Structure formats: structure tokens, C-alpha cells
Chains A and B, each alone.
Chain A
Amino acid sequence: MLKEEAIIVKDVYFSYNGFEVLKGVSLTVRTGEVLALMGENGAGKTTLIKHFNGLLKPQKGRVLVFGKDTREASVAQLARRVGLVFQNPDHQLFAESVEEEILFTLRNMGYPESRVKERCEYVLRLFDLDKYRQRSPYTLSIGERKRLAIAAVVSHDPDVLVLDEPTAGQDYFNKSKLARIINAMKMKGKGIVIVTHDVEFAVQIADRVALMANGRVIKVGSARDVLTDEKGLRAARLLPPQIAWTASLLIQKGFTMSRIPMLPGELYFELARMLDSRGEGGNL
């Protein structure tokens, strides 16, 4: 699938109450891939993603959404192409039923009335919420509320989806479900940005990673390059993924590896090779 430059952030500065939150941030978001935006609290991640749909406008620099300068477009216009989901679903849900929650966005976005029902149906099934159609959002579990908040934002099919801390406080089931949904959307050519602290989740689903610290992007690159760079990760107050960490410990012990692994399967491959070669032809 052809990757398109969806959002281009060019040297953006932003201050809030005299405090400089973004200090010259440049970043590109592409369709058809998952970009993880990582870094400590207060590094400016949330401020940055609010620039993606025009909730905030750059005080210096530019943000282009599919070629359009965000300063020349309203949030409602930009929201058609960029869906932004905040961390806490309780800030976002208000309708009387799950179904109403989806319909609200569809109608706001001017989705053709003839296809509203059909689309709503599709979204509810995609997010595994169809059995709760008539329930009040407030009676759902935390994981279901999270999915509903996302469903409500993607219902009108924006090209880019931005998720703030999707896995915070989510259990194993919900995390796996979210990973599946994110992957499905990527396969459909959507651009996805996740703001997260969850290194293991990023390992699973991110194609590219950008590290932020103190209002700057300090490193951006392929997930493998960034997530196996221990120094960069620590500068952003993150810990390396368990597998990369294990590998670097083994390297310290004198083992050699063809490359730093990130996934259990990759580490296993290296280990099997190692055990085999050290075991004088023993076959593991």
C-alpha cells in the first residue's frame, strides 16, 4: 500500500501560560503505518497531538494536514480527516446509548443519512460492541468504554487516528483487542498515532517510534532502531523492552548476536543458535 504523508509538523513552537511546551518539533505522520509517540509525562506529547486536528494552532512553525495549513481550517473540518481520542473515556461519552454515541459523530460529520445505520452497524461490530447497542455508555466496563470512545471517533472513517494512552489501565484482554483493532485499521491504509508509555505494546504494534523529551523530538526512526537504543529510551524516561534488555545483558556477558532482537521469537532464534553452537553440535 502506498504511504502518503498525512500530517507534516514543521518546526512547531507552542507556549502555554508562559511555559514553553513545544520547542521546535518536526514530525511526519504517514498513512498505512503505526507511529508511537513516547516520552515522559510533560514532554509535550498531548500538546503535540492537539495540533493534529487544529485544537491547538502552532504559535510558530506550521502543521499541514493533507497539505492544508491547520491555521486556515476549523477543527470540525480537520476532524473529518483526523480522529483524536483522549485518554479518559469518561471525558468523551455522554449519549444515552452506545448506538447514539456513534450516531452523534456520524451526524456531526455530515455522513450521508442513507448510510448512517449501516455504518453504525459496521463500527459496532468492528469494535465488538454490537451486543451493547442499547446500553448506557456509563454502565460499560472500563475496557468497553475505551473501545466505545475510539469507535465514536473513527465511525465516520477518518484517514488518521490519534490515540492518547490507549493501554493505560487496560488489562491483558483489552490490550490484545486494541492491538487487533489498530492493526486492522492500519491494513485498511489508515495512519495511526499512539501516545504511550507502554514499551511492550509499542514493540507489538508500532512501525515507527518518535521519542519526546522536554518539548523536543529527540529521536525518530523505525521501531527497531528506537526501541533498541537504550540511551535514547532512558533520556525519555522509558525502559527498554524486556527482550532487547535481555539481549544487551547477554552481549555484556560476551555473547554475540547478529542484531538486537525485540520480539520473543527473535530472541529465541538467537538463543537457539547460541545454544547450538556452544553445545558442540548438540541439537536443541
Chain B
Amino acid sequence: MSRVFDIFRFRQKKTPLHSLDPRAKFAILLALSAASLAFSDPFSLSLLLLVEVILLKIAKSLSELISSLRGLTSIMILIFILNYLTLPSGRLYTSIAMSLRFLSLATAFSVFFLTTTPDELSTALEVSGVPREYTMMFTMSLRFVPSLARDLQTVSDALRARGLELERGGLRERLRNYTYLLVPLLVYELRRSLMVAEALEARGFGAVRKVEPFYELRFRAKDYLTLALSCCALLIIALLHLTKVYSVFTSELARIIP
């Protein structure tokens, strides 16, 4: 399961997408996720997915998507089954569409997070007027996800080394086993947050309200171009819906496919 989160973790690479301004990339994310939600037929969603795959290819990050595909597929199957069992009609068609929608949403977010450092993100937020306390909180929560995962692993290893079988027994026994795991983890993370807070204080955090960030965000020609393209895409999606073109298209499709 931990592999699923790999598609949202930043990787340092030198690609045109990585060097875009985070705000321009945010516009892409907005357009892609709007499209994922606006379209509800397998064909449009597949087309959208193709666009996203091309973007990931440009970002040299296709392998990350592939490596986490196993985890994603299990969620897709779950979505498919849930839809299939609960829908009154057009079950196959809609169930496939819903699974695809999940995949294209996940991929849209991965295009953004794989290519944007938490620092760029927090700088972008800061420049947009979000207070530094909040942007730092955001940076930190991303920063400590791997540490938390590692602590969890160590705590569970340590308990297993003392003969605890986490997966054994009925539901109640298992729940109790997991509380054994939770106690040291919570205590440890509390200690960690104290250490982190001390280190932040030692670096003078919180002294000045308005700081000048080290990284300068500059909107260049390619960022404007990206922004413009994303806006166009958003506009087209809106038009397709407002003019009912899309609903005519889907109802035609529904007639062909059961």
C-alpha cells in the first residue's frame, strides 16, 4: 500500500515540467481534475488519461506511475465492484468509467506532486499571501511522512521480535494488537514533534511576520503559455457542458453500449 503514495512524492529531475512555475502547474492540475470530474464516459476518460500519461512521460516519471499501478489497481477494482453491485442500470459502462475517473484523478495529482518540491509549493503559497506558519506546517507534514512510515515499521518489527503476532486472532484481539503498536508510535511522534519544535525555535522561526523567501518565483513565457492552455481547456470543458453537447454524446454512447 505504501507504494501507492510514491506517485505523490517529489523526485528531483531535470524536465520542462519540473522547471515550470508551481502556480502554472497548479493550473494544469486544476484543468486535469476538472476534466476528470466533468467527463463520465470511458472514452473521454481514456483520452484524458492518455494526455496525463504524455505529461508524465515529459516529466520522465512514467516509471513511478507504473510501479504504483498495483496498489492503484486494487482500489480501482474495489470502486468497480462497489459500483457494479449498487447501480440499477448501465452497470458495466458506469463502473468502468468510475474506475477510470479515479485513475485519471490520481494521475492528475501525481503530475503535480511528482514535479513540484514541497519548498516550491510552500513558497508559492507564501507568495500568494498564506501566512508562513501555515505553509511551514504544510511542508513539515509532507516532510515527515517517510519518517512516520519508518517509525511504524520499526515499532511493528520491535513488537514482532517480542513474539506479538499482529495478524493473529479474531477482530477484537487484532484491534488490541494494534493499540500496542499505536502507543509507542504516538509517544515517539510526540517526542519527535518536540525535538522539531526546538530546532525550529533555534533557527529563529516565527520571529518576523513577513519574510522574503530565498526562492524567487518568476512567471516566464512558458508559464504564461501553460496557464493559457489550461484556461482554454477549462473553458472548453465548461462549454461542452453548458451547450449540452456532452450530454447528447453520452446518451448516444449509452444507447450503443449496454
B161 and A93 form a contact (CB under 8 A): no
B184 and A75 form a contact (CB under 8 A): no
Interface residues of A in 92-106 (CB under 8 A from B): 92-94, 104-105
Interface residues of B in 163-209 (CB under 8 A from A): 163-165, 180, 183-184, 187-188, 191
B158 within 8 Å of A by Cβ? yes
B157 within 8 Å of A by Cβ? yes
Chain A, residue nearest B151 (CB): A91
A79 and B188 form a contact (CB under 8 A): no
- B residues less than 8 Å from A94 (CB atoms): 159, 180, 183-184, 187
Interface residues of A in 128-150 (CB under 8 A from B): 138
- A residues less than 8 Å from B158 (CB atoms): 86, 91-92
- B residues less than 8 Å from A55 (CB atoms): 157, 160-161
Give A residues with C-beta under 8 Å from B.
50, 53, 55, 74-76, 79-80, 83-86, 88, 90-94, 104-105, 108-109, 138, 152-153, 156
Chain A, residue nearest B165 (CB): A76
- A residues less than 8 Å from B183 (CB atoms): 94
Q: List 26 A-B contacts (CB under 8 A).
A: A55-B160, A75-B161, A76-B160, A76-B164, A79-B161, A80-B163, A86-B154, A86-B157, A88-B154, A90-B184, A90-B187, A90-B191, A91-B151, A91-B154, A91-B155, A91-B188, A92-B155, A92-B159, A92-B162, A92-B184, A94-B180, A105-B162, A105-B163, A108-B163, A108-B164, A109-B162
Taken together as a complex, chains A and B put the C-alpha atoms of A88 and B184 apart, in Å, by 11
Taken together as a complex, chains A and B put the C-alpha atoms of A53 and B161 apart, in Å, by 7
- A residues less than 8 Å from B161 (CB atoms): 53, 55, 75, 79, 83-86, 153
Given A91-B184, A92-B155: A104 in contact with B162 (beta carbons within 8 A): yes
B118-162 vs A, Cβ < 8 Å mask (1 yes, 0 no): 000000000000000000000000000000000100110111111
- A residues less than 8 Å from B155 (CB atoms): 91-92
Residues of B in contact with A, size category: 10 to 19
Give B residues with C-beta under 8 Å from A.
151, 154-155, 157-165, 180, 183-184, 187-188, 191
Taken together as a complex, chains A and B put the C-alpha atoms of A104 and B159 apart, in Å, by 10
Q: List the 9 closest A-B pairs by CB distance, nearest first.
A: A108-B163, A94-B183, A92-B158, A84-B161, A105-B162, A94-B184, A109-B163, A91-B154, A75-B160
B157 and A74 form a contact (CB under 8 A): no
- A residues less than 8 Å from B151 (CB atoms): 91
- B residues less than 8 Å from A88 (CB atoms): 154, 188
- B residues less than 8 Å from A109 (CB atoms): 162-163
Q: How far is the CB of B70 from chain A (nearest CB, A)?
A: 14
Q: How far is the CB of B202 from chain A (nearest CB, A)?
A: 20
Taken together as a complex, chains A and B put the C-alpha atoms of A93 and B191 apart, in Å, by 14
Taken together as a complex, chains A and B put the C-alpha atoms of A76 and B183 apart, in Å, by 21
- A residues less than 8 Å from B188 (CB atoms): 88, 90-91
Q: How far is the CB of A83 from chain B (nearest CB, A)?
A: 7
Given A90-B187, A91-B188, A94-B180: A50 in contact with B162 (beta carbons within 8 A): no
Chain A, residue nearest B184 (CB): A94
A152 and B162 form a contact (CB under 8 A): yes
B154 and A79 form a contact (CB under 8 A): no
Given A50-B157, A86-B154, A91-B155: A79 in contact with B162 (beta carbons within 8 A): yes
- B residues less than 8 Å from A138 (CB atoms): 187
Which of B151, B154, B163 neighbours the largest number of chain A CB atoms within 10 Å of its CB?
B163
Q: How far is the CB of B46 from chain A (nearest CB, A)?
A: 30
Which of A76, A88, A90, A153 neighbours the largest number of chain B CB atoms within 10 Å of its CB?
A90
Q: How far is the CB of A48 from chain B (nearest CB, A)?
A: 14
- B residues less than 8 Å from A93 (CB atoms): 184
Taken together as a complex, chains A and B put the C-alpha atoms of A190 and B187 apart, in Å, by 33
Chain B, residue nearest A138 (CB): B187
Chain A, residue nearest B182 (CB): A94
Q: How far is the CB of A166 from chain B (nearest CB, A)?
A: 15
Chain A, residue nearest B6 (CB): A17
- A residues less than 8 Å from B162 (CB atoms): 79, 92, 104-105, 108-109, 152-153
A76 and B163 form a contact (CB under 8 A): yes
Q: How far is the CB of A230 from chain B (nearest CB, A)?
A: 34
Taken together as a complex, chains A and B put the C-alpha atoms of A156 and B161 apart, in Å, by 12
Chain B, residue nearest A75 (CB): B160
A79 and B157 form a contact (CB under 8 A): no
- A residues less than 8 Å from B191 (CB atoms): 90
15 new A-B contacts, CB < 8 A, other than A80-B163, A105-B162, A156-B163, are A53-B161, A55-B157, A55-B161, A74-B165, A75-B160, A79-B160, A86-B157, A86-B158, A86-B161, A91-B188, A92-B159, A93-B184, A94-B180, A94-B183, A138-B187
Taken together as a complex, chains A and B put the C-alpha atoms of A107 and B110 apart, in Å, by 46
Chain A, residue nearest B158 (CB): A92
Taken together as a complex, chains A and B put the C-alpha atoms of A64 and B155 apart, in Å, by 25
Chain B, residue nearest A110 (CB): B163
